[in-house]
Structures are given as structure tokens and as C-alpha cells.
């Protein structure tokens, strides 16, 4: 069955290079913070991950309390989800800014 040709991806949907670099840097530093927490000898090294996952890291203790589970692995997973949400929000912001800058 023949399919309709797909539309070429418009250039105005791409995010700016500076925003792409910011997102890549943010995610790289966040992965570094996770690695520092996992492999570092100091338990206070988790503060970097908490800072990079803000504001979602404020909810980690509340979610852990609601579930009744006090687990470092759960906290780490929730903080990693917070970092992912922040990365996705940065991406969506970049697309929105590009859409505003493109000529209509």
C-alpha cells in the first residue's frame, strides 16, 4: 500500500545551537554528579545532584515518605527523573524560542 510522502522537517523547529550546547552541558554535568555520588567516597557529594534536579528534588523526601520507603536507590532514581524533566523543559524552551525568532 503506497504511503504519503513525509514532509521535510522544517528548519524553524530545530533548536538553536547555543541552547543545544546548554542542554548537552547540563546533562553531562548531571551525569557527572550521579557518577560522583555513586563512585565518590563522600556521601555529601550528592548535593550537586540535588542542586541540578531542583525544583523536583524538593519533592523527593515527600514521595519517599508517602511510599513509606527510605531507600537511597529510590532517591537517586527520583533525582535522575528530575534531571530528565529539567532537560526536557530546556529542550521545549529552545524550540519555543526558535519558533518566536523564525520569520512567519
Percent of the chain with pLDDT over 70: 86
- In this prediction, residue 22 carries a pLDDT of 94
How far apart are the C-alpha atoms of 96 and 90, rounded to whole Å? Answer: 10
- The answer on pLDDT for 77 being more than 80 is yes
Mean pLDDT of the chain: 84
Name 20's Cβ contacts closer than 8 Å, sequence gap at least 6.
94
Q: Tell me the average pLDDT across 89-95.
A: 92
Report the pLDDT value the prediction gives residue 59, as an integer from 0 to 100.
85
Write the Ramachandran bin of 68: left for phi over 0, alpha for psi from -120 to 50, otherwise beta: left
Mean pLDDT of the region 84-104: 84
Lowest mean pLDDT among 30-34, 86-90, 95-99: 95-99
> In this structure, what DSSP letter does residue 96 have?
H
Please answer whether residues 37 and 45 qualify as being in contact, where contact means their C-beta atoms are separated by less than 8 angstroms. Answer: yes
**Domains of the chain by residue range:** 17-98
CA 64, 65, 67, 72 dihedral sign is: positive
| Residue 49 DSSP SS3 | helix
Amino acid at each position: 500500500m503506497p504511503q504519503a510522502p513525509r514532509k521535510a522537517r522544517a528548519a524553524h523547529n530545530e533548536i538553536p545551537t547555543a541552547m543545544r550546547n546548554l542542554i548537552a552541558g547540563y546533562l553531562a554535568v548531571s551525569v557527572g554528579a550521579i557518577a560522583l555520588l555513586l563512585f565518590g567516597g563522600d556521601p555529601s557529594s550528592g548535593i550537586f545532584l540535588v542542586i541540578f534536579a531542583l525544583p523536583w528534588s524538593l519533592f523527593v523526601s515527600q514521595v519517599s515518605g508517602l511510599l513509606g520507603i527510605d531507600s537511597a536507590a529510590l532517591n537517586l532514581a527520583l533525582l535522575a527523573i528530575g534531571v530528565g524533566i529539567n532537560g526536557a523543559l530546556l529542550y521545549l524552551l529552545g524550540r519555543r524560542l526558535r519558533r518566536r525568532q523564525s520569520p512567519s
